[in-house]
Structure 1
Amino acid sequence: MDSGDDLRVVMVMLERDAESIVFTRSDGKEARFPLRFPVFEPSSMLSRIAYPPTFEGLFAQTSKGDSIVFELPRYDGASRLNGRLVVYLDQNKWRPVSDVLQGRDAGGQADRKAARRLVEWVEQGRIILPASAGHYYETTKWSDAEGRYRLGLAILQLSRGWQLRDPLQVRRDELRWMFKNGVRPGAVFPAAITLSPNVIHSAARGVVPPRPPADFPPEEAFRHEVLVSATALIDTMLDSVGGERGPESGWTGANQRFSDWLDDEGGDSQRKRKSVDVWLLRDLQQEVAEESYAAGWTTEQVKDWVSASQSVQELGNLPALGLFREMLHERHLNRGTTWKPNDVIDMVYLSCAAGYADFVVCERQMREPLARGIHRLGRRTQVFRSLAEAVAAISIALEAEADS
């Protein structure tokens, strides 16, 4: 038992039903204080949130009795990746993983076995399965409340707080990095797979996260931001009301018209690739203007860069934007391509994930152009269309890592 001098708070807990905040001491004693205002919305599925003052992780419990543990970032910015392999699953690849967690025998035997292996590796601390805003968008739109909850729960339990940063912000960061530093072999870009707060939806979408109280010291302000962000991620994914699909952005129709125009124009593939590059630069014109300005470039410098042939080659060397460019070429050069609303989500998120993850698993329609782009650019990310194929490759990588 701790002496009086050694007594310390070991856990802080918010309890919804008791409407209280509980401080647990190292000798097991508790101090309870009533919450001065409601913390949970009526539609929230959370019943309890807890974390130790050591800030090692966040524990959440749902009203159904399910538990979620999130890892939390360090104040000093040091990575908590600890050599784990990063495996990004496209939305439809989370279904068999969710079924395994629920004990269901849905799907094929090979996928069930592979899903179980992924779960084991996460629990053993050998891989990371990051969540993305794309997963949140797709999952929270389900009309089946129970299915939505179970799928969202699986993503939360296995991502453990790891996220793919907003791809639109990642692209901006890559552009600014390029304008500041150029792109050279071995260049190291800011991490896109992270535990950092408020990055799954970023300023690139106009999102302004709540700020900690102005009188908080820096480290406490950081912890406040982390706790609010992590709790909001869990609460949003599991909310009993779910979400609504946003309006069509017009991106699908614009790409369809451009693909149809390329089909009618004819010409060789090299000429068409140049046309696609012009299309891409026009699509990125606002980001290029703003990020080059932030990097200190003049208008004349940007004009010279855009008119130079190496501009698109430099874009091609960027981790996420380079792969997005390759996928855009593949889709537009394929005669008779039909563009669907989800294509923009798939291309943006998969190109970003493949730029920074070790493995990506996605459906065949996106796997083929992504894999060809990775091959052309000489990247190391491995892309698969089935969990079984991916798990076989991951197993080899883990064995090689253990032997090294």
Structure 2
Amino acid sequence: MARKQALPYAWPTHLVRPQAGQRLVYLDLNHWISLAKAATGRRTGEIYRPALTAVQEASRSGKYLFPLSLTHYMEMAGIQDPRQRGDIADVMEDLSGFTTLLTNSHIVRLEVEAALDRVFSTDSPHLADLDLLGHGIGHAMGKRGGLHIRSASGGTTEDARAAWPDGPEAFDAMLTDKRRHLERSMLRGPADSEVPELKANGWDPTVAKRGAEERAESERQLAARLDNDPQYWNRLRDVVQARYMALEIIDAITQALIDRDKRIEDVITDKDSVRAFADCMPSADVYTTLVEAAHRNRQKVWESNDIFDIDALSVSVPYCDVVVTERYASHVVNAAHLPRGMKTEVFPRLKDLTEWLDRQ
């Protein structure tokens, strides 16, 4: 069954968006790589120099933010060459300032709550507001806090600041520098010489990719079942939505229902109620649309990078003003008219972004 958006989205009221006048521009990793080639003077990066200049000017104007996501950190960990990671990280730091989007799981939870608010005519008073944007990998992982100081005697960061020999301002500068170094290290990853010791202490850079691979294998299994049961092709979107709710967001739904003293039967009564519930959540609509399109391509072979891409777009398309992704994903979401309903521009090329910035 084709996508049919019958009701407005249930946008999460507890997700705090950036201040008015600031626009969010999300770039897939492949476009960050292109900008890094231009920044380092690579011959293959010459074509991207106008885009690099345009986004640098946009970033420095303060009117445009270029946030990173947890997907970026996970994909960067899969790049083997430390020099390449460093080149990309330099451009990311320059343009993003380590501004990050909130992790998918937290946004999905707020969307589930908003969808249930619509069903039960409530306003989720038990929820705390969460910021869409924050600083660094901690925010991208949905964690609060940052780099703090704890002494053996129980002293806190504020105690250390007050007692700092060169004064509180020098302490603040030192801590800012340490935080910046930490963020750079998390984005760049280790040098080759550091890898053996890190692995000996339990570091495993393949964790994220292995998790994505498990989910890709689940999609490969679904593709095989679809080939064996062709009657489901006419209801493919229903199948994808049901699996999304059962495998990806069931924990969020269960907890939200417990908080309301409700049961799943109070929400899901038939296939139409599944469609209505999933379609009103913005990230779920993007996810379902992309997964359905991928399965309709009978030649598609699912890879872990497909999972990374879908997760990133499920947040960036609904919650950013501009998304620059790869050509096929851009075609799919635009053909489904998702950007129109989400008031987002989705482009396949940095050149498109440059032209869009010129028109603003």
TM-score by length of structure 1 reads 0.66
2:246, 2:137 → 1: CA distance? 31
Aligned residue for 1:341? 304
CA deviation digits over 1:22-55, x for unaligned, max 9?
xxxxxxxxxxxxxxxxxxxxxxxxxxxxxxxxxx
**Distance in 1 separating the partners of 2:234 and 2:83:** 50
Kindly indicate whether residue 91 of structure 2 is the aligned counterpart of residue 154 of structure 1. Answer: yes
Q: 1:106 deviation in Å?
A: 2.3
Alignment correspondent of 2:333: 370
Aligned with residue 187 of structure 2, among 223, 226, 237: 237
Matches within 5 A, 1:31-110: 81=19, 83-107=21-45, 109=47
Determine if the alignment matches structure 1 residue 271 to structure 2 residue 235. yes
- Structure 2 stretches of 5 or more lacking a match? 1-14, 122-128, 162-171, 193-203
Report if aligned partners of 2:287, 2:310 keep a CA contact under 8 Å in 1. Answer: yes
Q: Which has the higher contact order (CA 8 A, sep 6+)?
A: 2
1:172 equivalenced with 2:137 (yes/no)? no
Structure number with higher strand proportion: 1
Structure 1 equivalent of residue 138 of structure 2: 198
| Aligned-pair CA distance for 1:158 | 0.8
Q: 1:281 aligns with which of 245, 250, 268?
A: 245
- Partners of 1:78 and 1:260 in 2: how far apart? 41
Displacement of 1:190 after TM fit? 5.3
Q: Which residue of 2 aligns with 1:327?
A: 290
Distance 1:82 1:210 in 2: 29
The Cα of 1:145 is off from its aligned counterpart by 1.8
Structure 1 residues 292, 195: CA separation in 2 closer, same or farther (over 3 Å shift)? farther
Which residue of structure 2 lines up, in the alignment, with residue 13 of structure 1?
none
The corresponding residue for 1:17 is: none
* Conserved? CA contact 1:89–1:360, under 8 Å: yes
Deviation at 1:82, TM superposition (A): 5.3
Which residue in the other structure is 2:278 paired with? 315
Q: Does 1:351 align with 2:288?
A: no
**Aligned AA (2:206):** R
Q: CA deviation at 1:151?
A: 0.9
Paired amino acid for 1:386: R
Change (3 A) 1:177 1:197: farther
Give the TM-score taking structure 2 as reference length.
0.73
Name 2:226's counterpart in structure 1: 262
Q: Tell me if structure 2 keeps the 8 A contact 1:88–1:357.
A: yes
Change (3 A) 1:335 1:322: same
Question: For residues 137 and 367 of structure 1, do their structure 2 counterparts lie closer, same or farther at Cα, with a shift above 3 Å needed?
Answer: same
Change over 3 Å in CA distance of 1:297–1:181 after alignment to 2 = farther
CA contact (8 A) 1:197 1:230 kept: no
* 1:208-241 residue CA offsets vs partner (Å, 9 max, x unmatched): 97777688699x9xx9xx9686653233123443
Number of residue equivalences: 306
Q: Alpha carbons of 1:387 and 1:183: their partners in 2 closer, same or farther (altered >3 Å)?
A: farther
Of 355-364 and 163-172, more deviation after overlay is shown by 163-172
Give the distance between the partners of 1:229 and 1:321, measured in 2 at CA.
34
C-alpha RMSD over aligned residues: 3.5
Higher helix share: 2
* 1:387 to 1:82, Cα distance in 2 relative to 1, 3 A: same
Relative distance call for 1:191 and 1:253 in structure 2 (3 A) is: same
In the TM superposition, structure 1's runs of 4+ consecutive aligned residues that sit over 4 Å from their partners are 77-82, 181-184, 207-218, 226-231
Aligned to 2:256: 291
* 2:10 corresponding residue in structure 1: none
Contact 1:100 1:116 in 2 (8 A): no
Measured at CA, do residues 240 and 253 of structure 1 come closer, stay the same or move farther in structure 2, by a change above 3 Å?
closer
- Structure 1 residue 122: Cα displacement: 0.9
Structure 1 residue aligned with 2:56? 119
Task: Judge conservation of contact 1:331–1:369 (CA < 8 Å) in 2.
Answer: no
Q: Is the 8 A contact 1:91 1:135 kept in 2?
A: yes
